[in-house]
Amino acid sequence: MQKRILVLVSALSVAVGLWGCAPPQPTSERWFTPEQVAAGQPLYASYCAGCHGEQGQGGANWDRPNADGSYPPQPLNGSGHSWHHSLDSLEETIAQGGTHPGATMPGFAAELNKPQRLAVIAAFQNFWSDQTYADWLYRGGL
Ligand code: HEC
């Protein structure tokens, strides 16, 4: 029992230490090219903007559940928590749609192939600030 607490305490101090020692620095280096952003923009406008907003600002009251317990479309411009998800997980959400119970986002695997799904991600990550992008990298985005 005591050993477990010790392990927990040392894991916590490592975690706190990591946060403390290496604050993510803003970066303008991105994984995508300007061509991918340009390819993704019209796809984003046709397939995503209707729910997530032209600028990725999310649906109205996105941070509160709807009356039926489902969630409105989240912002994709970096102000929500899309930056908590790795590139793989973002790509999977776009392919499969929402997976948690009550999720309403449709999947786009039939409409958008993988390079197109990546281009759509490039288009909305292009809205992210350098700091949000650095935070995403720091959390293991790539
Ligand atoms: C019909 C509305 C609708 C459309 C169209 C739609 N989404 Fe969503 N999206 C949602 C909803 C609602 C959620 C919240 C999860 C859920 O309930 O499924 C969501 C969640 C997400 C998430 C997870 C965000 C987070 O912060 O966890 C991503 C990424 C995403 N959508 C990307 C896209 C992209 C890219 C497109 C276009 C290819 C798209 N969505 C099209 C409604 C939509």
- What would the DSSP string read from start to end of 58-125? -STTTTS--TTS--PPPP-SSSSSGGGS-HHHHHHHHHH---STT--PPP-TTTS-HHHHHHHHHHHH
Contacts of 78 (CB under 8 A, 6+ apart): 56, 125, 127, 128, 129, 132, 133
DSSP type of residue 26:
P
Q: What is the pTM of this model?
A: 0.88
**Is the CB of 46 within 6 Å of ligand 1?**
no
What's the pLDDT tens digit per position in 53-82?
999 999 989 999 999 989 999 999 999 999
Q: Which of 122, 141, 119, 123 is nearest to 132 (CA)?
A: 141
Give residue 21's pLDDT band: very low, low, confident or very high (50, 70, 90). low
**Is the CB of 71 within 6 Å of ligand 1?**
yes
**pLDDT of 90 above 60:** yes
**Is the CB of 107 within 6 Å of ligand 1?**
no
